[in-house]
């Protein structure tokens, strides 16, 4: 009834061959999980290979976008939360706030020179667009910063990363400006990720000074 020939017993794989093939497949899956899937999808890079291939930064951006989307959805369900009072907001670990200036009308207010800015960058974000700027710093380095948004507000995340390490110093939603001193918790890249969740184009101006090797726009 059937013309196909049945395989001979000698042509069938042995139990040892099946076990070896299964083990090789499992090992390959684990390697792909550690070097590709975890860095690219979740920003987790236990081997450091994902950072070299540029996959870890992609995963970190995906994770931040997911957190932002969840926060926006929660805000939409529960109504817009009141903006926190900057004066009463807690200071995040690794970031020191700059004390507010005394009123100009106060005759006892001493004249204070502002920070000596080393770099200034300006960039435009369309609705839904995000970008990231990083400072390359050694552990304990301190970088003063001040950024402002022209034309609206942004969501942001001040964070740091290095092979096998990451930290989020502080984050905010619908913020028009921020300033302070960023203290590197470890040697690596430290900086900011901004996203424009508004309906109009905005321009962000960032000024930095202090101790760091260089500054670059990652995305």
Q: Highest mean pLDDT range out of 5-19, 22-36, 57-71, 125-139? A: 125-139
- Under the banding of pLDDT at 50, 70 and 90, the label for residue 78 is low
- Condensed to tens digits (0 to 9), the pLDDT of residues 105-164 reads 344 444 445 568 999 999 999 999 999 999 999 999 999 999 999 999 999 999 999 999
Residue 28, pLDDT score? 79
Residue 26, pLDDT score? 81
User: By mean pLDDT, which of 94-98, 197-201, 210-214 is the weakest?
Assistant: 94-98
Residue 88, pLDDT score? 36
Residue 114, pLDDT score? 59
Q: Which residue has the higher pLDDT, 185 or 62?
A: 185
- Classified by CATH at the fold level, domain 115-219 comes out as Jelly Rolls (2.60.120)
Residue ranges of the chain that CATH labels 2.60.120.680: 115-219
Residue 178 CA: distances (Å) to CA of 23, 170, 208: 53, 11, 12
- Condensed to tens digits (0 to 9), the pLDDT of residues 154-201 reads 999 999 999 999 999 999 999 999 999 999 999 999 999 999 999 999
3-state secondary structure the chain: CCCCCCCCHHHCCCHHHHHHHHHHHHHHHHHHHHHHHHHHHHCCCCCCHHHHHCHHHHHHHHHHHHHHHHHHHHHHHHCCCCCCCCCCCCCCCCEECCCCCCCCCCCCCCCCCCCCCCEEEEEEECCCCEEEEEEEECCCCEEEEEEEEECCCEEEEEEEEECCEEEEEEEEEEECEEEEEEECCCCEEEEEEEECCCCCCEEEEEEEEECCCEEEECC
What end-to-end distance do the CA atoms of the chain give, in Å? 65
Number of residues assigned to the chain: 219
Query: Residue 128 has which token pair?
Result: 């839904």
Is the pLDDT confidence value at 6 over 70?
no
Mean pLDDT of the chain: 78
Distance CA 188, CA 182 (A): 13
Is the pLDDT confidence value at 1 over 70?
no
Count the neighbouring beta carbons within 10 Å of the beta carbon of residue 39.
27
Place of tokens 């059937």: 2
C-beta separation of 137 from 190 below 8 A: yes
- Under the banding of pLDDT at 50, 70 and 90, the label for residue 216 is very high
Residue 35, pLDDT score? 76
């Amino acid at each position: 009834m059937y013309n196909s020939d049945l395989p001979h017993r000698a042509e069938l794989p042995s139990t040892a061959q099946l076990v070896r093939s299964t083990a090789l497949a499992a090992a390959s899956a684990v390697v792909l999980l550690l070097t590709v899937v975890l860095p690219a999808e979740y920003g987790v890079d236990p081997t450091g290979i994902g950072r070299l291939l540029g996959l870890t930064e992609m995963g970190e951006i995906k994770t931040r976008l997911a957190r932002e989307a969840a926060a926006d959805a929660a805000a939409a369900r529960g109504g817009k939360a009141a903006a926190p009072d900057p004066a009463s907001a807690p200071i995040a670990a690794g970031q020191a706030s700059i004390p507010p200036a005394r009123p100009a009308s106060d005759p006892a207010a001493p004249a204070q020179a502002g920070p000596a800015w080393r770099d200034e960058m300006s960039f435009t974000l369309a609705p839904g667009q995000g970008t990231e700027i990083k400072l390359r710093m050694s552990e304990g380095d301190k970088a003063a910063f001040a950024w402002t948004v022209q034309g609206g507000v942004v969501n942001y995340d001040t964070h740091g990363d290095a092979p096998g390490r990451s930290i989020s110093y502080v984050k905010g939603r619908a913020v028009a400006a921020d300033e302070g001193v960023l203290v590197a918790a470890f040697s690596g890249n430290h900086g900011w990720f901004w996203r424009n969740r508004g309906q109009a184009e905005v321009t962000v101006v960032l000024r930095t000074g202090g101790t760091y090797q260089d500054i670059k726009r990652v995305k």
